[in-house]
Amino acid sequence: MSEELIVERAGVQSLVVAAPRWGHRHEAVAWCGAFDRRAYDDAHAILGNEAAAAAIEIAYGNACVRFTSARTFALAGADADARLDEEPIAAYRAIEARAGSRLRFGLPRDGARTILAIAGGIAVPSVLGSRSTDLRSGFGGFQGRALRDGDRLPLAARGGQLPRAREAVKRDARFRVVRERIHCRDAAAFTELCSRPWRASPQSDRMGVRCDGEPIRGERREIATLAVFPGTIQLPPNGFPVVLGVDAQTTGGYPVIASILDEDLWKLGELRLGEEITFTPVQSIDLNADLGEGSADDAELLEIVTSANIACGGHAGDERSMRETVRAALRCGVAIGAHPSYPDREGFGRRAMEFRSESIVAFVTEQIAALARIARDEGASLTHVKPHGALYNRSAVDVETADAVAGAVAGFDRNLALVGLAGSLSTERARAFGLRTVEELFADRRYRNDGGLVARGEPGALIESAEEAADQAIALARSGRGESICLHGDGANASAFARAVRQRLLEAGFVLRSAASLDG
């Protein structure tokens, strides 16, 4: 006889959740997964389950399940006055249930969602790499829907990992946010967001938390449809912000004024309807490096930066180097971007070359596609494109080249951000094509008075002191002129420069996060 968990009362909304469905947002597939990811991870750790095992998320309590066999389980998240066979039980510890035991949940005393993890997990099939329920699309989890009274959930074989202790974390409804300049060039809306309290609207759900309060006056417009992620804060025309949740759509046409830090996302899942919310601004900056170009410093740089621009065949890079760099970036949690260039391996892509627009579109598209294919093979997706060398410089000042590069990116995937020299034609024209843009600054290059870079061939163009590079990085980050600072990976002291810049930024209170991915 198979071991099952019988749902006797499903409550307001109970569903099977697991790890997010990574790597399919370009196919309009949401991440889904546990709304309170911290609680989900804690419950499985207590039992020694695999990290991606399926569990049950119970929203607002008032549920009851029955065990058909003896099993160990753990609870985490909201305290919902849980009782096993009418005896009160504590969360954040492993508890033994007998065959026939009933586990009942009352109304949460604090928080909104409780995770019920069972040793071995719920035995549901993996769909597109996750066992999570996608309610909107109707697949994954248990029959692609919320649980109902009478459902019988099969249980998986018990895991063999060692259990790990976890403690409850005191939650609050304060969220640290960073301004998203790539969508919202006007700081007024962000200032208003952070200047007053809000309340979680009764219309909130797993797709998004709607904020009630005094509406924001600025940015009441729609924009070209762009990629959005859990934690993205959109501003609809009515002026009431919406914080996107784990089931959120993959694209949206409202201005994005801010994003919640990854470390605070779990608290969204525990917000109670009507609870007061506050947003606290923090400064953020992205550190990017050009990688996969044959430098010995790549591995060390990936431990330092937040975004990687991977050479994809134009000036450097081949199948092997691209795959190795993508895998390393995934291990380090670094955003992955393409680094296309003129087809000039002999000159490392730094020689000025003449191509017709259609030729630029063709070779840029070909290089992006090569890296995108490898990323998909490895379970990842691209977040951005940054041209290399002479192509980068030419697109910063030449409309025809800028349009060709932007057209290639937009034609391949409009969800990709284009990284370009801050204040240049490159990013200006990319926005005209409906692309997100990341304004880039340089820690190790000197600037002209007009904001352009001193040409590499001129004396003093390169900053050769790590301390001076760190000083310039701080000044640039505080200037608000850009969202990302480039740390070149092909210099003799690349890793030393990168460490110095990263350390100084952290000491100055900056949060380091990818500017292109919007999910941190």
Residue 221 scores a pLDDT above 70: no
Burial environment of residue 88 by CB neighbours within 10 A (0 to 12, 13 to 18, 19 or more): exposed
Tell me 296's DSSP state: T
Most trustworthy range by pLDDT among 252-266, 391-405, 446-460: 391-405
Q: What is the DSSP string of 369-426?
A: HHHHHHHHHTT----EE---HHHHHHHHH-HHHHHHHHHHHHHH-TTSEEEEETTSHH
Q: Is the dihedral of CA 103, 104, 110, 113 positive or negative?
A: positive
Q: Give all strands of the β-sheet with 71-79 in edge-to-edge order.
A: 13-17, 55-59, 110-118, 71-79, 95-97
State the pLDDT confidence band at 186, using cuts at 50, 70 and 90.
low
* Phi, psi (degrees; rounded to nearest 5) at 447: -105, 145
Higher pLDDT, 174 or 449: 174
| Amino acid of residue 486 | C
User: Quick check: helix, strand or coil at residue 350?
Assistant: coil
Query: Which of 160-164, 205-209, 271-275, 301-305 has the weakest average pLDDT?
Result: 160-164
Which residues are registered as beta bridge partners of 447? Answer: 453
**Helix (H), strand (E), coil (C) string for 179-238:** ECCCCCCCHHHHHHHHHCCEEECCCCECCEEEEECCCCCCCCCCCCCEECCCCEEECCCC
Residue 520 scores a pLDDT above 50: no
Torsion of CA 321, 379, 251, 224, to 10 degrees: 20
Question: Helix 425-432 and helix 389-397: axis angle, to 10°?
Answer: 70
CA distance 379 to 377: 6
Given a contact cutoff of 8 angstroms between Cβ atoms, the answer to whether 518 and 228 are in contact is yes
Task: Map out the domains of the chain with their CATH numbers.
Answer: 4-143 (no CATH), 174-282 (2.40.100.10), 284-512 (3.20.20.370)
Mean pLDDT, residues 265-282: 97
Query: Which of 158-172, 229-243, 326-340, 372-386 has the weakest average pLDDT?
Result: 158-172
Q: Give per-residue pLDDT as tens, 358-389.
A: 999 999 999 999 999 999 999 888 999 999 99
- 103 Cβ contact list (under 8 Å, min separation 6): 64, 65, 66, 67, 73, 82, 83, 84, 97, 116
Would you state the structure tokens that stand for residue 279, as one six-digit string?
A: 């947003």
Which H helix or E strand runs over 114?
strand 110-118
Burial environment of residue 340 by CB neighbours within 10 A (0 to 12, 13 to 18, 19 or more): buried
Residue 281 scores a pLDDT above 90: yes
Mean pLDDT, residues 466-493: 87
Tell me 326's DSSP state: H
Q: State the pairing for strand pair 284-291/511-512.
A: parallel
| Amino acid of residue 89 | I
Residue 410 scores a pLDDT above 60: yes
Percentage of residues of the chain with pLDDT beyond 90: 78
Question: Would you state the pLDDT for residue 168?
Answer: 86
Nearest CA to 58 among 5, 4, 105, 124? Answer: 105
Residue 316 scores a pLDDT above 60: yes
Would you state the structure tokens that stand for residue 37, as one six-digit string?
A: 């990811």
CA distance 391 to 405: 9
Which residues are registered as beta bridge partners of 177? Answer: 260, 281
Number of neighbours of residue 505 by Cβ within 10 angstroms: 22
pTM score of the predicted model: 0.79
Question: Helix 494-507 and helix 466-479: axis angle, to 10°?
Answer: 50
